[in-house]
Structure 1
């Protein structure tokens, strides 16, 4: 087995070495900093590059180089610091937020950034302009009534109700970034492929299925990027990305397979690790048969040995999500709440009680590429769980799709169950718990289409409560409901991992899954 793996690695390395000189790392016109090009390899194309219309990390990582919001997260944490807003204040009742804006900032199309641009970016995501395919709008702007331009560099956001997480939401890479009004009007529906923001890098071109090219924005208001050109290269297989990293065809990669860590380190590659603000799960379509039956959801949950999955698939680079969806460092995490533990004999009893003494058959959909919360990819995870369920007489059929196609079939509700995950956006408990809020069904974030009025009421109470201690108590009760109802099998929290060549300096992972490449140098 070991010999076969070594031979496979050698073949991959020989292949990659043969094409490395033709790869994107060694081409291109001269750019700033001596013509250096920084190549980042990720698992798939983004779904798009308009922050109002996407909901995935592959999109967020790239958009974070192009756009900026009013505020941003500090490196390494979810504390908030100024960005396009230099200062802000909130009224005592939490219903009026006033932002003072940075002056002398331009969008990458040369148009000025001002309060009118902020109003435009938010207004298009509020009713009546909001569209059904704006997945994050309802979440980020929850409670927002209207936006008022006080003057060219002051904007006021009026809330219908307080939102305890609002400022953290405004730092997110999805929905919150400010877009060029002129570019949106120019490109219309095609703006999703022609992004224009105020960030340190501007968009050049997108070769679908291959790469996206960015170049340093000469008119950027802040410190100029250390490398003049960035290429995001799309390579589905973890092992191929790792091979290209070792040969120098790419400079940085994410989605590192646990099986490749030792090999990479032996070649002098730097591993970057941080605790993952994520959840890896198997979801049930709770609104239709067979998984509208709680007994079946509990049976499947008890039939899966999550510790074995973590040990076998992730080799110490993940932890079992024993207490539900929240990572243990999120305020509101409830360590005293337990999800359904591995108990195959009890699972069989539940199957019989539900009317399936000889088991049953269902279809689960999954994704073919790696994800930060599941770096081995959805197919491997699904296959491992398929084997577990066979032990109690349950046959799980698997249908796999590339990432972009997968998002659509998931939204359409194909099959009976699905594999998915979540990367926290802002460090707030609500950002995880809202994934099962019934009002997020329409916006596609609640993929299970789970609905529990008591749970919804608790989340609403938590959002509008400004006292942190009271919010924790509310969220503990919400997590207890979810643990009992089992709309998901809570599998694991993955350690965030990336890898970089030794000549790359300054690259760091952020808990939200994004990164900043303008601070990265290539020596």
Structure 2
């Protein structure tokens, strides 16, 4: 936590800036008349833009606006609803959920690229076959392969294993039963077991978006820097970990704004009426910066340097949204806020293969449970997250089928007395008199927690230090940039790490995958591998939604609480903000490709920022 005097100074500065906002805006340079541009900042750096390699939210957001999957989540549907994107209609799904057939619209084209040698390149069903096969190619080390392998697409996992055993390159030309282009525009999936929710995976362009083989073969290992899709935008500039610029894809087909919001949402009704019939996308250019520290990101938005603020930094919540209402001085200047719970969990994981905190024996389980019990989540919420979160009771996040707000467990309990008792009972005592607990064999007990060098993580680390000091456990922090920690985590090299996990689909399975053994190094960063959990996971995922599936999900939650491979801290509540010249922005947590639905009124921007 920052020094109290520094906090007071920062708060005074924010209040002063907010009160003086018209003068600040007046001093800003007038924006260029054209092109129509949406500007904002990510708080974490991207990695690259290859759907076969992406595992982070920020790279996914960019890629989802470049690549297109066959389906999409409707922008204004509440509750969420799937609709065709490049598909000509909704897929045909067999009664046993083992076959899905999709007809792709003719006349859709990839953005122009040198790989096409001056010819327009039409999207075909074979492009989806190729793009999905790339996840099975060991060369690309797909972090999302588990989603496809768990679906049991007939023949693909077997092909991967055969070629890996023979040490041969992946054979993209070998046809498999489970993934075929039946003709130029017809794509078919066949599964070894029922897949009632597989269609959700076909609504994420950053994962199952179509790719042209000739583009991948031209750029080879640099494909992550050369994304070429059929979507509304194309990448025109990329300064790694600094700035991304995307421009309207001039070859994007004719798609028009046509949304059907629910009757109980008059704000969505008004936007749908105002934009109906507009051709998408409505802006010409997107500029995304990377600003990792919260204060400069907040100030850039206040000063008009950015048009929207994606995720209000928690430390400014009391200034910007006191009592979770937009501050009057911000409302006076037409700023719009959108506050919402994401399908999200914020967790600290324990490396289950690590000799200190891993393992399934009673003493190791007791250590993890004691550490989790000692974490004062309410204090974390108030001091670090400024009230913008709620305590979590399981690893399943809200806004998904299978989440139960009434579910209570030890995951949400804070008891240092119980923590100390567990440690004492299992031999984690101070054996050398230095004031710190040791391992049962007498060697020092030292936790190493991976983190990032930004202000919020520094504050979270301070809370961890206080929590562990209170029960006599030493803890040190291993700092590195987020992409570096991600790489180390996937390789199983971290003892502990604190991260957020957001669902891409409105189903609990997105969170249940965190504990499934075969997902080690992918979704399962803790590398938890418990046969009982794995069995339950296999059973529930082939069932349609209903009471039987819900009961199995509850059992999975309980096992995760009992073995504690993850300490789930909170479900975060987010607030986005936009200046009044940004029109049509409404958060749908499952729609990453929202840029095409947003407009920027350049005349209003000039009027409000002119001297």
For normalisation by structure 1, the TM-score amounts to 0.90
1:345 paired residue among 417, 439, 445: 417
Q: 2:10 aligns with which of 5, 8, 12?
A: 5
The 3-state SS of whatever aligns with 1:35 is coil
Deviation, 1:60, is 1.1
2:391 aligns with one of 313, 317, 320: 320
8 Å CA contact retained: 1:111, 1:182: no
**Corresponding residue number in structure 1 for 2:153:** 144
Q: Which residue of 2 aligns with 1:438?
A: 517
Contact 1:436 1:450 in 2 (8 A): yes
* 1:380 to 1:53, Cα distance in 2 relative to 1, 3 A: same
Match for residue 83 of structure 1? 85
How far did 1:353 drift? 1.9
RMSD: 2.5
Once the two structures are TM-superposed, the CA of residue 467 in structure 1 deviates from its matched residue by: 4.8
CA contact (8 A) 1:78 1:511 kept: no
Secondary structure of 1:175's counterpart equals helix
Paired with 1:75 and 1:151, the residues of 2 have a C-alpha distance of 31
- The 3-state SS of whatever aligns with 1:111 is coil
Residues 485-500 of structure 1 aligned to structure 2 (within 5 Å): 485-500=563-578
In structure 2, the residue matched to 1:201 is 233
SS at match of 1:510: coil
Residue 111, structure 1, aligned to residue 102, structure 2: no
Tell me if structure 1 keeps the 8 A contact 2:235–2:247. Answer: yes
Alignment correspondent of 1:373? none
* Structure number, greater radius of gyration: 2
CA contact (8 A) 1:363 1:398 kept: yes
Equivalent positions of 1:292-331 (< 5 A) are 292=358, 293-321=364-392, 323-331=393-401
* Residue 59 in structure 1 maps to residue 59 in structure 2: yes
- 1-side partners of 2:544 and 2:213: how far apart? 34
Alpha-carbon contact 2:398-2:571 (below 8 Å) kept: no
Partner residue, 1:465: 543
Give the 5 Å matches for 1:92-241.
92-109=95-112, 110-126=120-136, 129-131=137-139, 133-140=141-148, 142-145=151-154, 146-221=178-253, 222=255, 223-241=279-297
Measured in 2, the distance between the counterparts of 1:446 and 1:194 equals 29
Cα offset, 1:272, TM superposition: 1.6
- Please give the alpha-carbon distance, in whole angstroms, between the structure 2 residues aligned to 1:383 and 1:131: 40
Residue equivalent to 2:457 = 378
In structure 1, what is the Cα distance between the partners aligned to 2:84 and 2:309?
29
Report the alpha carbon displacement of residue 154 of structure 1 after superposing the two structures with TM: 1.1
User: What is the alpha-carbon distance in structure 1 between the residues aligned to residue 348 and residue 591 of structure 2?
Assistant: 20
C-alpha contact 1:303 1:344 (8 A) present in aligned 2:
yes
Q: Deviations over 1:10-57 (max 9, x none)?
A: 99999x979x968xx947xx7xxx422211211133111011101110
For residues 327-386 of structure 1, the C-alpha deviation after alignment (integer angstroms, 9 at most, x for no partner) is 3442223434413411101111111122222323211101345xxxxxx74332222122
Which of 490, 498, 501 is matched with 1:419 structurally?
A: 498
* CA distance in structure 2 between the aligned counterparts of 1:174 and 1:105, rounded to whole angstroms: 18
| Whole-angstrom CA distance in 2 between matches of 1:512 and 1:306 | 27
Cα distance in 1 between the residues matched to 2:375 and 2:104: 51
Contact 1:290/1:296 (<8 A) preserved:
no
Tell me if the contact between 2:200 and 2:505 (Cα under 8 Å) persists in the aligned partners.
yes
Task: Name the count of aligned residue pairs.
Answer: 505
Q: Which residue of 2 aligns with 1:251?
A: 307
Question: Given that residues 105 and 113 in structure 1 are in contact (C-alpha distance below 8 angstroms), is that contact kept between their aligned partners in structure 2?
Answer: yes
**Structure 2: runs of 5 or more not aligned:** 113-119, 155-177, 256-278, 321-326, 359-363, 431-436, 438-444, 602-611
Equivalent position of 1:367 in the other structure = 452
Change (3 A) 1:515 1:271: farther
* CA offsets 1:128-165 (integer angstroms, 9 cap, x no match): x3446201122145211231112211111121222222
1:384-426 superposed Cα distances (whole Å, 9 cap, x missing partner): 1221111111121111211111211222334421111200110
Question: Could you state the TM-score of these two structures normalised by the residue count of structure 2?
Answer: 0.78
* Counterpart residue number, 1:372: none
Flag the 1:393–1:461 CA change in 2: closer, same or farther, 3 A: same
Return the alpha-carbon distance in structure 1 between the equivalents of residues 248 and 369 of structure 2: 52
